[in-house]
């Protein structure tokens, strides 16, 4: 099962979704602005990405610049900010076999499908 947290208004997210639809049949699409991840789900995504919450926030987003850029919050507080303002979550996020990537650029998504040599 491959899952994409998708924003249909984002060209990068649409490009990732197009790639996934061409290369997999077992795909789950979650439009995260309409179906916001749960707190537990967001924490799991961060773990799979290997990122702190602040690293998953879109810092060029107008909302961030207006309300949050000067704040010093804890990781848990940043998670709450993303849950209350999902537009701030970087996109797209693609999860395959317990590994997640932010699909910007698209090559990161493609790498999920590339077998690794050991």
Give catalytic residues, as residue numbers. Answer: 10
Laid out side by side, the sheet with 27-31 consists of 27-31, 2-6, 93-96, 99-102
Gap between the Cα atoms of 10 and 89, Å rounded: 12
b/e burial code for range 68-104 (CB count within 10 A of at least 16 → b): beeeeeeeeebbebbbebbebbbbbbbbbeeebbbbb
């Amino acid at each position: 099962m491959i899952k994409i947290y998708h924003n249909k208004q984002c060209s990068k997210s649409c490009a990732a979704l197009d790639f996934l639809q061409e290369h997999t049949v077992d795909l789950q699409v979650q439009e995260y602005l309409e179906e916001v991840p749960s707190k537990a789900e967001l924490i799991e995504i961060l773990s799979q990405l290997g990122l702190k919450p602040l690293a998953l926030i879109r810092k060029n987003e107008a909302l961030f610049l207006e309300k949050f850029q000067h704040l010093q919050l804890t990781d848990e507080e940043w998670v709450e900010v993303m849950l209350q303002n999902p537009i701030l979550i970087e996109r797209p996020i693609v999860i395959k076999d317990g590994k997640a990537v932010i699909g910007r650029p698209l090559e990161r998504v493609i790498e999920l499908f590339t077998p690794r040599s050991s």
